[in-house]
Amino acid sequence: MSDTTALLKKKRTMDKNFPVFNQLESKEHEQVVLCSDPGSGLRAIIAIHDTTIGPALGGLRMWPYQNESEALTDVLRLSRGMTYKAALSGLNLGGGKAVIIGDPHKDKSEALFRAFGRYIDGLGGRYITAKDVGINVQDMEWVHAETKYVTGIPKILGGSGDPSPVTGYGVFMGMKACARKVYGSDSLEGKRVAIQGAGQVASFLADYLSQEGAKLFISDIYEEKAKKVAGRTKAEVVDPDEIYSLDADIFSPCALGGVINDETIDQFRVDIIAGGANNVLDDEEKHGQMLLDRGIIYAPDYVINAGGLINVAGELEGYDSERAHNKASKIYDTILDILNYSEENQTPTFTSSNILAEERIKQIGRIDSIYSSSSRFSKRKGEVFLRNRG
């Protein structure tokens, strides 16, 4: 048996016997931490993707995953997206994410979130957590009781509170950039926008769109939530199964991921897909290319929804709402850069944004090759602030 054949055989055996490590290596994750506290019922996974530019920052999600494999796949995808999101937002942060396996309507307790906070604290600042799907400000307060490495906490505790308003604003600005590319004007007046989901981000986005004169359609698995937003914005409530096939200009996914898939992609009759949800493409390469082939402009999710990250990152240096909104407004320019790169190189927008993000990470990473006797405090700007926050 040749050396090459032996190596290939060994690799196949490793691929079969070590599926978790293979998942980490395939997307170049640095670390995964499993957290268990039977007393509180905590079952959590923390994924740290890349800390080249700075400590990993990313939200905590609570969801009733069917099994641990499903939870691991989700947290790995989300954490990788956070790396690219931070890079393209010009932040000195890396990417991470955490998930708690459980029903956010039934399984929450102070003990559970404080136990999770202890695991965060044990990482010593490699990962800073924040609020995501299924998590509220009270949950963040409980986490903060055990660690300083948490953002999205109430303003009275030195935080910024709910980041949803800035996330919604960033999605709005990114949507306007897409409109400029497609229609020659960034005005959304008269444009028909189908919003999937009626949560906090979708609600703020709907307000901005309504103020600009867009015609809105909205759906949610909880119809009352959709009706509440519709009553304020004059949107038309539609059935969740009908939202994909509406004759609209823009589809805005603001619920969970994977909604652009083999079953839905042929239903779209829109020019633009731009929304606040994460991991919108079920298969990034396949469905990103299919959208390009169909002439549908897609705003990469981790870029257009970066307002939330920009908002909570501001807490690391002392929060200022005006500064957060100003930084979120630059999502407009970033989206335009990605769309132009995609057009010039005939690559899907998701691929284009990955390339641009990876280039910034490489550029900043090279700086570490320059010897300096000083500490990394200037690069990890949150360290001094977090230390003083106790």
> CB–CB of 381/108 below 8 Å?
no
| 3-class SS letters over the chain | CCHHHHHHHHHHHHHHHCHHHHHHHHCCCCEEEEEEECCCCEEEEEEEEECCCCCEEEEEEEECCCCHHHHHHHHHHHHHHHHHHHHHCCCCCEEEEEEEECCCCCCCCHHHHHHHHHHHHHCCCCEEEEECCCCCHHHHHHHHCCCCCECCCCHHHCCCCCCHHHHHHHHHHHHHHHHHHHHCCCCCCCCEEEEECCCHHHHHHHHHHHHHCCEEEEECCCHHHHHHHHHHHCCEECCHHHHHHCCCCEEEECCCCCCECCCCHHHCCCCEECCCCCCCECCHHHHHHHHHHCCCEECCHHHHCCHHHHHHHHHHHCCCHHHHHHHHHCHHHHHHHHHHHHHHHCCCHHHHHHHHHHHHHHHHHHHCCCCCCCCCCCCCCHHHHHHHHC
Which residues are the active-site residues?
97
Mean pLDDT (whole number) for 89-104: 95
Q: What is the pLDDT of residues 246-284, one digit of tens each?
A: 999 999 999 988 899 999 999 999 999 999 998 899 998
Mean pLDDT taken over the chain:
90
Task: Supply the Cα-derived Rg of the chain in whole angstroms.
Answer: 21
Q: Is the dihedral of CA 338, 344, 347, 351 positive or negative?
A: negative
Domain extents for the chain?
Answer: 27-79+94-150, 164-360
Question: Residue 58's closest CA among 44, 48, 43?
Answer: 48
Q: What is the pLDDT of residues 191-215, one digit of tens each?
A: 999 999 999 999 999 999 999 999 9
pLDDT at 12: 55
Mean pLDDT (whole number) for 306-320: 89
pLDDT at 372: 65
pLDDT at 2: 57
Mutual orientation of helices 200-212 and 223-233 as an angle, nearest 10°?
A: 20
**What number does CATH give the domain 164-360?**
3.40.50.720
Evaluate whether 27-79+94-150 and 164-360 have a shared fold: yes
pLDDT at 26: 74
Is the per-residue pLDDT at 349 higher than 90? yes
B/e letters for 307-330, b = 16+ CB within 10 Å, e = fewer, are: bbbbbbbbbbeebeeeebbebbbe
pLDDT at 373: 61
Domain 27-79+94-150 indexed as CATH 3.40.50.300: no
pLDDT at 241: 93
Question: Residue 214's closest CA among 272, 167, 278, 146?
Answer: 272
